[in-house]
Amino acid sequence: MTSSESPGTPPGANGPLGVAMIGYAFMGKAHSNAWRNVASFFDVPAFEQKVLVGRDAGQVAAAAAKYGWAESATDWRSVIARDDIDIVDICAPGWMHAEIAIAALEAGKHVLVEKPLANTLAEAEAMTSAAQAARTRGVQSMVGFNYRRVPALALARDLIAEGRLGTVRHVRAAYLQDWLSDPESPMTWRLRKETAGSGALGDIASHAIDQVLSLLGDAVTEVSGRLHTFTTQRPGNHGPEEVTVDDAVWATLTLTSGAIASVEVSRVATGQKNSLRLEIYGDKGSLLFDLENLNELSFLDATVPVREQGFRRILVNEPEHPYLEAWWPQGHIIGWEHTFTHQIRDFLAAVAGGGSPSPSFEEGLAVQRVLAAIEESAAAKSATMQLVQPANTTAAAEGA
């Protein structure tokens, strides 16, 4: 809260919203690009890129200058305490999410945090409680599942909600990468459980699971899962280090609606660079999507005569498609980085309008519960875990 605001005044109500971002590596660069460009294409409330925070003073200063931040800092706690900061964007590794997000919310700052919500279910629950308390004071929070903002996937969600697929029976979600295929790839924080929480599970299965829940507007009731680590040691700074997270995950999810979803993710799928493939099969139609063809959605209408059926390609770049009215003339495709710009636009719109942005921390917690159930099922050697959603979680997600 700025010094000029009264206790009941939402952050930023008396001037431009001051933004602080914590973390400047891969996600920090993507988010910075979005903050830098969003106002050039969308009508959003006024804001200022105040400060970029990182642990290395020299590196964060260089990143701040490069990415358009007014200044840099190394102490996130002092930044959160500043009167001129209204929004905290958390792009730090998962093990830092809970502490920073809870502190920021309690300080009255709106919070955007990268997925997954946290490294553990307990942390995610604590973050959600803090978000619920902050929301009563007009302080908003959101999880950064940026693929919800792919125009083709936003269109897919609309088509499903409109009943174009009828009753959805079966979903296949596969997120495949190969950046760890080489066993000599060096050790990183993403391969240590204490810093990453999990491997492919939290990193990319969280995206796939969020898409299943978001596209269908559904919840998970049962989970069966398996985790596997193909390379158990990797080169470290002082010799071989043990890999303590998974390389690949397989899971079967039973949904409240009765639909069944299969989820497969891997960071050792040689030849697959960043392929999130989704197949949604209903009794009246089907949809296919691949992130490596981000501007395309395939749709089959099973209500027309059989002789006319077949998947048709929809090039999703018309002004009538989600988000695309702000970009280029029709036929000019957009890219992966645009999803973050759309995410910032939606977050700012919710903050300015006093609404709850989506995905909320409750929705992030729902994904976290599935991740935890997959781990538990895998540890139990193929047991099926019953997953009961708290009554308030689904309601909160629907109202977000």
Band (13; pLDDT cuts 50, 70, 90): low
* pLDDT tens-digit map of 286-324: 999 999 999 999 999 999 999 999 999 999 999 999 999
Give the rounded percent of residues in the chain with a pLDDT score beyond 90: 90
Taking residues 260-276, what's their average pLDDT?
A: 98
Bridge partners, 385 (sequence order): 223
Report the distance separating Cα 257 and Cα 263, nearest Å.
17
* pLDDT tens-digit map of 231-258: 999 999 999 999 999 999 999 999 999 9
* pLDDT tens-digit map of 17-39: 999 999 999 999 999 999 999 99
pLDDT computed for residue 389 by the predictor = 66
Which domains are assigned to the chain?
17-147 (3.40.50.720), 151-335+361-399 (3.30.360.10)
> Token pair 């990143």 is at which residue?
63
